[in-house]
Structure 1
């Protein structure tokens, strides 16, 4: 289903023609989360190791991305080749944004709020970062990570919501905070990327955000239906999932310690709730 959604993304019109395939791709609607990958990174075959097994028509797709594809071949494989070129660029992009130069480019987008801002009121419009839940393509769509509440959200726009999470990977946001510790959001007060007053976030009294970035939806959350009658609070608490930040598959040491402590506290509270429910 995600595969089909990726194919259905608007590819722009002839009037949107750009001088290079990459500039055309980046200017297409729905691709605002992506940054430009340096050409020398793409041309270094070492950086692309293993991608030939992930992408059909790998050689032709790479030639299309680097604007070296023969016109006759491009006409014959126009439809399928464009899809494969998007997949290849996305997988290259995931590798690029965890390099020093790639991180620097993504920091600029992060500071501008290009990925949106956290909808949680107490996060005071903290800028979000894109993250994948798995590094395998066509499995999970991209999510948005808030470094302040440490939770995940779905993009508000359906165009952004159909982007494959593998194009950003599971490592990116946490490596960015590791490399740029001054950007780690504080848990209280205004966010590190700027004050969050109504004047600069586009909010009015009693109004919603009105800015270039869209307010995302929470990934999780409890339904407001039913009024909570007959629901065991303890069972709900046990089913609650927590996002675990990882860098190259490994949990962050300090974060993992904190989460283990928090889960131990949760287990104690659940035990108390179960005891109270049994008495009631």
Structure 2
């Protein structure tokens, strides 16, 4: 499996960060540049969210004292992962961070939308909250504007706060030419590998093979009830709804409510 790093020259070769990025399950992360981490202004407030903050930062930057006891290193590694994740969420909404994540997006490193009409649109990671330990990471499709859970359990266990709630929408504001059309083929695929397209086809075939048969549904299953339980995603940038998307969201919710009411009426008549 390829390293999740974008391949930039870094003093972190064979370091904690290099090890972290090359570990299985961390392919969504990009490399945070050294000067960004060493600028304490960028880390403002994180000392209140991470236990053993100073030691965790020393571990990330490879300045940890070798005399630290082994039994403490396990706890410290957990805190270092948390700290790097929170730094990562801040880094990827900077100009340089967006550029690195753009490279991963063009290679479809985050997967592709499972909906047929989205025609294998590449996905972007997003958090449903900026508070750690609350929600796992989801994948946002700029075409259908919906979110999905990662296929891999390793990726599904990543904290959504490590990507934040603003990243995908800020990326599209900075690079408006990448906003996918609502219909027709995806247009920026000229820079994408042909193998990625074939991989998307294999993934679709795999999903089709895994779909349960209709008769396996338990008796009494309510489609309307399942639809009501589904979270409605609202794109935001730094807490504020994106204006054009907000208008579309109101229309989508009205259509969704009408469809649920129709399903409930059909189920009552059965």
Distance 1:175 1:69, change over 3 A: same
Stretch of structure 1 that moved more, 156-165 or 233-242 = 233-242
Match of 1:165 in 2: 160
Q: Secondary structure at the match of 1:244?
A: coil
Q: Secondary structure at the match of 1:163?
A: coil
CA distances 1:211-254 after superposition (whole Å, capped 9, x unpaired): xxx97xxxxx9994676986777666655542111111111111
Match of 2:30 in 1: 35
Stretch of structure 1 that moved more, 69-78 or 178-187 = 69-78
Contact kept, 8 Å, 2:126 with 2:164, in 1: the verdict is yes
CA distances 1:177-215 after superposition (whole Å, capped 9, x unpaired): 1111111111111113317999761169xx6339xxx97
Contact kept, 8 Å, 1:126 with 1:193, in 2: the verdict is no
Match of 1:23 in 2: 18
How many angstroms apart in 2 are the aligned matches of 1:54 and 1:200? 38
Greater RCO between the two (CA within 8 Å, min separation 6)?
Answer: 1
How many angstroms apart in 2 are the aligned matches of 1:61 and 1:203? 38
Distance 1:57 1:245, change over 3 A: same
Match of 1:208 among 202, 208, 230: 202
Match of 1:152 in 2: 147
**Structure 1 residue 262 displacement after superposition:** 2.9
Distance 1:114 1:239, change over 3 A: closer
Unpaired runs of 5+ in structure 2?
A: 1-12
How many angstroms apart in 2 are the aligned matches of 1:165 and 1:84? 16
What TM-score, normalized by structure 2, do the two folds share?
0.81
RMSD: 3.2
Contact kept, 8 Å, 1:74 with 1:81, in 2: the verdict is no
What TM-score, normalized by structure 1, do the two folds share?
0.79
Matches within 5 A, 1:125-144: 125-144=120-139
How many angstroms apart in 2 are the aligned matches of 1:209 and 1:266? 28
How many angstroms apart in 2 are the aligned matches of 1:199 and 1:65? 34
Distance 1:75 1:226, change over 3 A: closer
Q: Matched residue pairs, number? A: 254
Match of 1:243 among 201, 208, 233: 233
Unpaired runs of 5+ in structure 1?
A: 1-17, 216-220
| 1:66 has 2:49 as partner | no
CA distances 1:103-154 after superposition (whole Å, capped 9, x unpaired): 0000001001111111111111111101111111111111111111111111
CA distances 1:10-52 after superposition (whole Å, capped 9, x unpaired): xxxxxxxx62111111111111110000111111111111111
How many angstroms apart in 2 are the aligned matches of 1:224 and 1:23? 46
How many angstroms apart in 1 are the aligned matches of 2:26 and 2:265? 51
Q: Secondary structure at the match of 1:129?
A: strand
| 1:264 has 2:254 as partner | yes
Match of 1:108 among 95, 100, 103: 103
